[in-house]
C-alpha cells in the first residue's frame, strides 16, 4: 500500500519530537536532582529556634522586647543605597577580593602548643574569626568554622580562600568552645558535630543559640547559655558574655537569638574577643569593668558603607581596642571568606596605618601561626604581595 501524499516522513518527525521531549524532561529532572543535592543539608543547618526552658530564658532577658533581641544602641543592619549602589559595589567594584596567590599557612608538626607554661598567654588564629586562646595552661576555641563554605549548604555559598591550617581532629584537648552568634561564618553545623564527637569541652553561647546545638546532637549538659553580663567559671577561667552591636539569624527570622562579645580571664591574664560588632560606646564600659586586656581579638573585615552599624571599620577597631584598654591587638574576621565589597588586603592595610598613627601595638599572624602575646612577631607585611 502506498503512503498518501503528506504522510511520508511523518513517523521519523514524530520520533524526533519524542526524543526532544525526552531530552528536555531528562535535563529538567537532572537539574532538579542537582538542586536537591546542593541543598540537601540546608534544613538541618538552619538549626532550630529556642523552645521550652531556652525560650523562657530568652523571654526573661532584659535585652529581649518580646519579639526580638535589641542592640545596646540604635542600630540598622542595612542602610538604603540609592540606585542599588551596594549590590553594584559588591559585584562590580573592581577591587581584588581574592588573594593574588596562595595564602601562606603555618602548619605545626603537632597541634599541641609548644612550651606552654602556667602563666603563658598565646593565640593561634586559624582564619576568619576562628582562634585558639591558650590562657595559663587552658585552651579556649572561639567561633570555629572548619567547613569549606560558610553557608547552610556545603555545596554553594562563600568558599574558603585558604585551607584550614590544622585539621579539626588534630586540635589539642579543649576546655571551652565560645560561639559569638549564630551566623554561618561563626557557627558551623559540621564543625559543631565534629567537636561534639571528638572533644568533651562545653559550648558557651549567647541566649537561644543552644537550641541550634541541641538540634545537632550536642548534649544539653555541654551547652551553657549566657546573657550579657553573665559569667561562668570553666577550668579555672572566668568567661563573661559582654555586649556587642550586631544581629542574628540563620534563615528569614532575625534576632531571635542573642549575639555577644567575650571576656576570657585567668588569674592574671585577660583576653577580649569582639565577635561581630559595629562600634559603640559600650567598649569603654567593658574596658572599665573587665580590662585592661593583654590582647584583643578584633573584627576588622567584612565592612561596607551599606552596613556601618554592625561591622567595624579597621580604624574603629583601633578605637575600640583603646576603649577596652587593650595592649596587643590581633585582627580577625578577614582573609578567609569574601563577604564584603572591600579588597582582600584592605582591612589590615588600613589597620596598620591607623595603629601606627595612634601608637597601638599590633600583630598580624599568618593563619596557623602561634603568637605568644608577651613576645609577638614583628608585623612583616606578608599579605601585601597577595593584595
DSSP string, 136-200: TTEEEEES---SSBSSSSSSSS-B-SS--SS-GGGS---SEEE----STTT--HHHHHHHHHH--
Cell numbers at residue 247, please?
A: 544581629
Q: Are 203 and 213 in contact (CB under 8 A)?
A: yes
Q: For 52-67, how does the pLDDT look when each residue is reduced to its tens digit (9 = 90+)? A: 999 999 999 999 999 9
Residue 77 class from Cβ within 10 Å (0-12 exposed, 13-18 middle, 19+ buried)?
A: middle
Per-residue model confidence (pLDDT) at position 1: 46
Q: For 134-182, how does the pLDDT look when each residue is reduced to its tens digit (9 = 90+)? A: 999 999 999 999 999 999 999 999 999 999 999 999 999 999 999 999 9
The whole-angstrom separation of Cα 226 and Cα 177 is 13
Confidence of residue 33 (pLDDT cuts 50, 70, 90): very low
- The architecture that CATH gives domain 121-386 is 4-Layer Sandwich (3.60)
Global pTM value: 0.88
Please determine, for residue 50, whether its predicted confidence score (pLDDT) is greater than 60: yes
List CB contacts of 246: < 8 A, sequence separation 6 or more. 71, 181, 259, 275, 276, 277, 278, 310
126-155 core/surface letters (b: 16 or more CB in 10 A; e: else)? bbbbbbbbbbbbbbbbbbbbbbebbbbebe
Please determine, for residue 71, whether its predicted confidence score (pLDDT) is greater than 90: yes
Please determine, for residue 70, whether its predicted confidence score (pLDDT) is greater than 70: yes
What is the rounded average pLDDT of the residues 16-30?
64
Q: For 87-136, how does the pLDDT look when each residue is reduced to its tens digit (9 = 90+)? A: 555 554 556 899 999 999 999 875 454 445 677 999 999 999 999 999 99
Bridge partners (DSSP) listed for residue 139: 134
Q: Are 143 and 129 in contact (CB under 8 A)?
A: yes
Q: For 290-340, how does the pLDDT look when each residue is reduced to its tens digit (9 = 90+)? A: 999 999 999 999 999 999 999 999 999 999 999 999 999 999 999 999 999
Q: Are 236 and 68 in contact (CB under 8 A)?
A: no
Please determine, for residue 382, whether its predicted confidence score (pLDDT) is greater than 90: yes
Please determine, for residue 45, whether its predicted confidence score (pLDDT) is greater than 60: yes
Amino acid at each position: 500500500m502506498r503512503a498518501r501524499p503528506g504522510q511520508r516522513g511523518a513517523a521519523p518527525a514524530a520520533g524526533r519530537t519524542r526524543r526532544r521531549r525526552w531530552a528536555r524532561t531528562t535535563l529538567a529532572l537532572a537539574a532538579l536532582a542537582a538542586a536537591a543535592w546542593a541543598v540537601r543539608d540546608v534544613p538541618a543547618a538552619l538549626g532550630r529556634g529556642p523552645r521550652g526552658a531556652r525560650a523562657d530564658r530568652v523571654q526573661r532577658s532584659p535585652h529581649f522586647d518580646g519579639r526580638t533581641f535589641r542592640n545596646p544602641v540604635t542600630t540598622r543592619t542595612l542602610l538604603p543605597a540609592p540606585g542599588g549602589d551596594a549590590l553594584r559595589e559588591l559585584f562590580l567594584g573592581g577591587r581584588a577580593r581574592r588573594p593574588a596567590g596562595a595564602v601562606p599557612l603555618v602548619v605545626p608538626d603537632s597541634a599541641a602548643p609548644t612550651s606552654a607554661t602556667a602563666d603563658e598567654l598565646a593565640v593561634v588564629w586559624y582564619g576568619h574569626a576562628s582562634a585558639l586562646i591558650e590562657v595559663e595552661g587552658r585552651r579556649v576555641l572561639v567561633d570555629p568554622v572548619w567547613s569549606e563554605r560558610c553557608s547552610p549548604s556545603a555545596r554553594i555559598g562563600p568558599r574558603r580562600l585558604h585551607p584550614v591550617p590544622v585539621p579539626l581532629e588534630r586540635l589539642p584537648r579543649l576546655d571551652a568552645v565560645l560561639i559569638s552568634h549564630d551566623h554561618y561564618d561563626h557557627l558551623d553545623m559540621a564543625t559543631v558535630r565534629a567537636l561534639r564527637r571528638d572533644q568533651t569541652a562545653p559550648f558557651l553561647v549567647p541566649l537561644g543559640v543552644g537550641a541550634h546545638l541541641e538540634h545537632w546532637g550536642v548534649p544539653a549538659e555541654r551547652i551553657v547559655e549566657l546573657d550579657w553580663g553573665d559569667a561562668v567559671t570553666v577550668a579555672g577561667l572566668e568567661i563573661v558574655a559582654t555586649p556587642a552591636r550586631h544581629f542574628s539569624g540563620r534563615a528569614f527570622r532575625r534576632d531571635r537569638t542573642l549575639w555577644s562579645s567575650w571576656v576570657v580571664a585567668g588569674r592574671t591574664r585577660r583576653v577580649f574577643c569582639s565577635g561581630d560588632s559595629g562600634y559603640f560606646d559600650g567598649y569603654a564600659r567593658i574596658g572599665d569593668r573587665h580590662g585592661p586586656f593583654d590582647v584583643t581579638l578584633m573584627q576588622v573585615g567584612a565592612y561596607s558603607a551599606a552596613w556601618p552599624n554592625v561591622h567595624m571599620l579597621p580604624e574603629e577597631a583601633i578605637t575600640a581596642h583603646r576603649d577596652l584598654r587593650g595592649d596587643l591587638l590581633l585582627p580577625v574576621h578577614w582573609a578567609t571568606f569574601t563577604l564584603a565589597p572591600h579588597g582582600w588586603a584592605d582591612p589590615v592595610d588600613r589597620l596598620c596605618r591607623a595603629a601606627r598613627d595612634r601608637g597601638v601595638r599590633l600583630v598580624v599572624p599568618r593563619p596557623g601561626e602561634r603568637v605568644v602575646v608577651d613576645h609577638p612577631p614583628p608585623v612583616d607585611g606578608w599579605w601585601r604581595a597577595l593584595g
